[in-house]
Amino acid sequence: MDSPELSDEVKADVILRWETSVARANAFLLSEHNTLMPKGSYELLGSGLVFRTGAQDWEVTIRNTWFGDVVVASGYIAQERSWGFVVGEVGDGEDIVANSLFVNSLGSPRSADGMARLILHETAHQVFDVGTLDFTGTLHYYWYSLFENHSGHPDEEMPNAVSREFGQFSAQ
Ligand SMILES: [Zn+2]
């Protein structure tokens, strides 16, 4: 964010959307729409996000990486990791803002609710310990994707259910 390449307007826009997305995710977590995720809240730190439940804290760091570029090129938005999730390059400009957290696949700004939904989905992978969090999980995930003929990946069941609950909250 200290980059001289970033205009004050761009900085103000992404910071506002990120802060709003965290506030929206926190409002959802405390709402009646949330039946799956533990009651807790996100805190936005200089280094990224932390999801605190009282019983446990989860580091939710978001990184724009070469692997995120592969994920985005494959038609996905992000991929879960044990420490958060990776995003990839979308749109023009500096990597810190031109990525799939802040920009949707059409190249338009992702809404605060769209960002909240993404953050909650990826955190659900960590909370429910499903998906490509580590090497073994990644092997299992792709083994299943390659060799099991199934309409939905079982590792996406809980994260998708959390996404749906946030969708209902957002619509209301
Ligand atoms: Zn997922």
Which run of H or E residues covers position 148? none
How many A from CA of 101 to the centre of ligand 1?
Answer: 14
The whole-number pLDDT of residue 136 equals: 74
pLDDT tens-digit series, residues 95-144:
889 999 999 999 999 999 999 999 999 999 999 999 888 777 777 777 66
CA 165, 167, 170, 172 torsion-angle sign: negative
How many A from CA of 154 to the centre of ligand 1?
Answer: 10
Core vs surface per residue 57-76: b (16+ CB within 10 A) or e: ebebebbbbeebbebbeeee
Cα(109)–Cα(153) distance, rounded to whole angstroms?
Answer: 28
Please, which pLDDT band fits residue 151 given cuts at 50, 70 and 90? low
How many A from CA of 119 to the centre of ligand 1?
Answer: 10
Give the CA distances from residue 32 to residues 1, 15, 36, 100, in Å, rounded to whole numbers and listed in that order.
Answer: 36, 28, 10, 29
Q: Mean pLDDT, to the nearest integer, of 142-171?
A: 82
Query: Does 66 have pLDDT greater than 80?
Result: yes
Cα(14)–Cα(20) distance, rounded to whole angstroms?
Answer: 10
| Confidence (pTM) | 0.91
Q: What ranges in 56-134 are assigned the alpha helix state H?
A: 66-73, 112-127
How many A from CA of 79 to the centre of ligand 1?
Answer: 7
Dihedral of the CA atoms 16, 50, 115, 109 (nearest 10)?
Answer: 40
How many A from CA of 42 to the centre of ligand 1?
Answer: 19
**Cβ proximity of 76 and 58 under 8 Å:** no
How many A from CA of 91 to the centre of ligand 1?
Answer: 22
How many A from CA of 6 to the centre of ligand 1?
Answer: 31
